[in-house]
Structure 1
Amino acid sequence: MRDILERSVLPADRLRIGSTLVALSREAGLTNADFEALEQISDQQSTTPMDFE
């Protein structure tokens, strides 16, 4: 039943964000090493919460 409802509501050619990101990273020539380097940098930097006052 859910499958029938999903197929009737969601178009088959809709944009799938995961597939789109993979395609973009392949076009840019990014490798797993690039993503690992980004993860290491983000792990080292602390974030400061926003202050709205």
Structure 2
Amino acid sequence: MLLLSCKPGETFKLGEEIVVSVMDIQGKHVRLGLMAPKKIAIHRHEHYQKYQGRKR
């Protein structure tokens, strides 16, 4: 696992098509902005696990 330290306004790329921006940090809460093509689904891991459990 790669751990990054970022400040609000900083941006990094995942591969060629995904851009992640740190929008805001308030205490323990971090707001991220994600840009990716529509063909790439983006889900919070917790929500994705619940969805996968319902599909079975």
Same fold (TM over 0.5): no
The structure with higher relative contact order (CA 8 Å, sep 6+) is 2
Larger Rg: 1
Higher helix proportion: 1
Q: What TM-score, normalized by structure 1, do the two folds share?
A: 0.28
Higher strand proportion: 2
